[in-house]
């Protein structure tokens, strides 16, 4: 019979996975966690994840990590210029591979003996690997953990959400391209986020137009026949973080393992990325700032008007309105 | 666990009886082609759909297109069949017909809303693929094209496993020129070799863009490592063709129309037709019957 017979019969498999609590403890020192998702393949998730990590790590005071949970098609090692690197094991767990002092990367790509080796695994084995990435990698104290995912709404996505369920996840950035065939799959991803109660930070529209380097004419190679990400975000009340145009130098930089933001920092695409990254990283900070200022104003109004109850309420309301306008 | 007795009996180690059932069911299908890529977004569904259209342009051929991308089923949209429903009859599920000789099946037809997410783990997806192969009333087919999601996981293992008691002509592998794609595609090729799935050839998609204004060609996804051409040379695989980027392809897909009919004289449409009729394909895959006269004429030209 099946070797797991006793395990199943005991009902142990119905209990919560103890790894969830372990991961919760392990990642308690990670300040921000961002998932990069898309229902559609090939829209630029890995490219965006990598460049988001590079941009955040450009502040040398921040510790950033990039986790690649695309088990079958791990692109991150290539894009980060880390092909051929290996993971080392120490007493405190697996050591991630460092791009810079403050930018660490983990991917199954580092565990393959050959770059062309196929990872032909069904769901349960992929889930086990994701669990190990979260529980056994010695991430250290991080400011940001970016998680790059494969397309779809299946094992990897359910597992990453499940294993991070005892931690705080800032939310997901959803990547799309303008055409309806992409948006259709992206709407499914948005539904997935809503079902698993994963906040959506915003949507990025990639491959949004191409400017011919010769005549500067703009072509919509993936035409937004149904209004593109802009209309979808308006319909679903989601923030559109930005639009990134097609630029051959993006694909070239990715192939060469260099950050596009450093190679051509003044290109329209690089500027679009930087603008998105700044809005993305600041979004959680601005909410905190607002809450801080609100309570500060509350305290100040109360303190200053402790002997004047009639005016206190009016001043409180005025302060609140002022802050709302300021925000 | 309710499955305790089943597992303890060892019945789960026996071959799945569905494999033999599917073998019997698909015995009347002359040719089966899988469209694969390790990489997402390279144009598998677009190619599958247009391959099906091209093959079905010969009205004497019966063609079917099966979409096993469970999480991101694009085929209904691309084939202009959004909102269609599958019907059940005594002989099984009826696929949805584009034309009299072109049938389509996708999980997209089973969703109550187009935006419904299919949030399933592997085993459930495998079960659906089994049903598609075993329970759909395909009828007698000349061609069954199977569109797959990116990767080398459940769907791919299942489709190969369930078709293991039938003859599969092989796989067409789709890629784009850049190394980040080719890296994943080489993994897919390794997968095909491991499961002994023949590879018919490789198609390089998004291979250059001709500006409609000045006709300058840009390599939007540059072949930094030699593109599909070098990969095929290294791995001794046929390169079936290269398809350039054309905004009208994406537009046609969004509108559910065959690009081959909308702009038949465009470079991309010509590239597609050339691939479907390529000399490198096994003879049975050519969409137009070859006669002695056409053979002679083509030699003269």
The answer to whether the CB atoms of B38 and A158 lie below 8 A apart is no
The answer to whether the CB atoms of B187 and A151 lie below 8 A apart is no
Q: Is it the case that residue A211 has pLDDT exceeding 90?
A: no
Kindly state the DSSP code that residue B286 receives in the 8-state scheme. -
- Which pLDDT does position A217 carry in this prediction? 86
Query: Dihedrals φ, ψ of A187, to 5°?
Result: -60, -35
- Which pLDDT does position B217 carry in this prediction? 87
Residue A218 banded pLDDT, cuts 50, 70, 90: confident
- Which pLDDT does position A315 carry in this prediction? 66
The owner of tokens 């390089």 is: B204
Compute the average pLDDT of residues B51-73: 95
- Which pLDDT does position A320 carry in this prediction? 66
| Cα of A68 to nearest chain B Cα, Å | 14
Say whether A20 sits in a helix, a strand or coil. helix
Compute the average pLDDT of residues B113-126: 93
- Which pLDDT does position A323 carry in this prediction? 62
Residue A287 CB neighbours (<10 A): 11
Contacts with A158 from chain B: Cβ below 8 Å: 119, 121
Contact A261, A55 (CB under 8 A): yes
The answer to whether the CB atoms of B190 and A116 lie below 8 A apart is yes
The answer to whether the CB atoms of B77 and A5 lie below 8 A apart is no
| Cα of A120 to nearest chain B Cα, Å | 5
For residue range A68-83, what is the model confidence (pLDDT) as tens digits? 999 999 999 999 999 9
According to DSSP, the residues that pair with B103 across neighbouring strands are B64, B97
Interface test with B, best of A12, A42, A226, A260 (most B CBs within 10 A): A42
Query: Does B214 or A183 have the greater pLDDT score?
Result: A183
Compute the average pLDDT of residues A177-186: 96
- For the entire predicted model, the pTM comes to 0.88
Residue A258, C-beta contacts closer than 8 angstroms, at least 6 positions apart: A81
The owner of tokens 């997935």 is: A192
Question: Residue A196 and residue A177: Cα distance in Å, rounded?
Answer: 24
Contacts with B152 from chain A: Cβ below 8 Å: 72, 118-120
Say whether A87 sits in a helix, a strand or coil. coil
Q: Is it the case that residue A48 has pLDDT exceeding 90?
A: yes
| Cα of B110 to nearest chain A Cα, Å | 15
Contacts with B2 from chain A: Cβ below 8 Å: none
H, E, C per residue of chain B: CCCHHHHHHCHHHCCCHHHHHHHHHHHHEEEEEEEECCCCCCCHHHHHHHHHHHHHCCCCCCEEEEECCCCCCCHHHHCCCCCCCCEEECCEEECEEEECCEEEECHHHHCCCCCCCCCCCHHHHHHHHHHHHHHECCCCEEEEEEECCCCCCHHHHHHHHHCCCCCCCEEEEEECCCHHHHHHHHHHHHHHHHCCCCEEEEEECCCCEECCCCCCEECCCCCCCCHHHHHHHHHCCCEEEECCECHHHHHHHHHCCCHHHHCCCCHHHHHHHHHHCCCCCCHHHCCCCCCHHHHHHHHHC
Closest CA to B40 of B61, B2, B69, B14: B69
Question: Residue A164 and residue A34: Cα distance in Å, rounded?
Answer: 11
Establish whether B42 is an annotated binding residue.
yes
Q: Is it the case that residue B287 has pLDDT exceeding 50?
A: no
For residue range A234-255, what is the model confidence (pLDDT) as tens digits? 999 999 999 999 999 999 999 9
Contact B71, A188 (CB under 8 A): yes
Contacts with B183 from chain A: Cβ below 8 Å: 75, 78, 115-116
Say whether B129 sits in a helix, a strand or coil. helix
- Which pLDDT does position A322 carry in this prediction? 61
Closest CA to A66 of A100, A42, A90, A93: A100
Q: Identify the architecture of domain B3-277 in CATH.
A: 3-Layer(aba) Sandwich (3.40)
Question: Where do the CATH 3.40.50.300 domains begin and end in chain A?
Answer: 11-283
Residue A165, C-beta contacts closer than 8 angstroms, at least 6 positions apart: A20, A24
Query: Dihedrals φ, ψ of B46, to 5°?
Result: -60, -45
Establish whether B39 is an annotated binding residue.
yes
Question: Residue A322 and residue A311: Cα distance in Å, rounded?
Answer: 16
Q: CA Rg, chain A, in Å?
A: 23
| Cα of A93 to nearest chain B Cα, Å | 27
Please give the class, per CATH, of domain A11-283. alpha beta
Q: Helices (DSSP H) in B43-85: which residue ranges? A: 44-56, 75-78
Closest CA to A118 of B187, B179, B150, B154: B187
For residue range A104-129, what is the model confidence (pLDDT) as tens digits? 999 999 999 988 899 999 999 999 99
Question: Residue A112 and residue A142: Cα distance in Å, rounded?
Answer: 26
Question: Residue A187 and residue A183: Cα distance in Å, rounded?
Answer: 6
- Which pLDDT does position B47 carry in this prediction? 95
For residue range B225-274, what is the model confidence (pLDDT) as tens digits? 999 999 999 999 999 999 999 999 999 999 999 999 999 999 999 999 99
DSSP B157-178: HHHHHHTTTS---EEEEEE-SS
Q: Is it the case that residue A215 has pLDDT exceeding 70?
A: yes
Name which of B71, B188, B191 is nearest A153 (Cβ-Cβ): B71
Establish whether A49 is an annotated binding residue.
no
Establish whether A26 is an annotated binding residue.
no
Query: What's the mean pLDDT when you consider all of chain B?
Result: 89
Residue A161, C-beta contacts closer than 8 angstroms, at least 6 positions apart: A169, A196, A198
Contact A214, B211 (CB under 8 A): yes
- Which pLDDT does position B290 carry in this prediction? 41
Q: Any idea what the Cα angle at residue A41 is, between residues B242 and A54, rounded to 5°?
A: 105
Query: What's the mean pLDDT when you consider all of chain A?
Result: 88
Buried b / exposed e over A1-26, threshold 16 CB at 10 Å, is ebeeeeebeeeeeeeeeebbebbbeb
Establish whether A215 is an annotated binding residue.
yes
Alpha-carbon torsion (A120, A121, A126, A132), positive or negative: negative
Question: Residue A175 and residue A202: Cα distance in Å, rounded?
Answer: 9
């Amino acid at each position: 019979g099946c070797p797991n017979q006793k395990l199943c019969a005991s009902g142990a498999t119905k209990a919560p996975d103890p790894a969830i609590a372990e991961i919760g403890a392990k990642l308690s020192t990670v300040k921000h966690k961002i998932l990069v998702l898309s229902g559609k393949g090939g829209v630029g998730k890995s490219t965006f994840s990598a460049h988001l990590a590079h941009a955040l790590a450009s502040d040398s005071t921040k510790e950033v990590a990039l986790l690649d949970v695309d088990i079958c098609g791990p692109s991150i090692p290539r894009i980060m210029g880390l092909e051929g690197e290996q993971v080392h094991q120490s007493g405190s767990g697996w050591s991630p591979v460092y791009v810079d002092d403050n930018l660490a990367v983990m991917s199954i790509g580092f565990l393959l003996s050959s770059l062309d080796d196929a990872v032909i695994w069904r769901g349960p084995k992929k889930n086990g690997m994701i669990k190990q990435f979260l529980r056994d990698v010695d991430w250290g104290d991080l400011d940001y953990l970016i998680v790059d995912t494969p397309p779809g709404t299946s094992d990897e996505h359910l597992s990453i959400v499940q294993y991070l369920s005892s931690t705080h996840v800032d939310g997901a950035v959803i990547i799309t391209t303008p055409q309806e065939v992409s948006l259709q799959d992206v709407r499914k991803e948005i539904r997935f986020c809503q079902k698993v109660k994963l906040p959506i930070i915003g949507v990025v529209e990639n491959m949004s137009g191409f400017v011919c380097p010769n005549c500067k004419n703009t072509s919509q190679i993936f035409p937004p026949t149904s209004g593109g990400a802009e209309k979808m975000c308006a319909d679903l009340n989601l923030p559109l973080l930005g639009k990134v145009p097609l630029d051959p130098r993006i694909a070239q930089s990715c192939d060469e393992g260099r950050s596009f933001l450093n190679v051509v920092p003044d290109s329209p695409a690089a500027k679009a990325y930087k603008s998105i990254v700044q809005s993305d990283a600041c979004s959680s900070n601005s909410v905190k700032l607002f809450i801080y200022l609100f309570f500060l104003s509350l305290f100040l109004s109360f303190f200053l008007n402790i002997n004047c109850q009639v005016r206190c309420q009016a001043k409180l309301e005025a302060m609140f309105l002022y802050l709302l306008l300021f925000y």
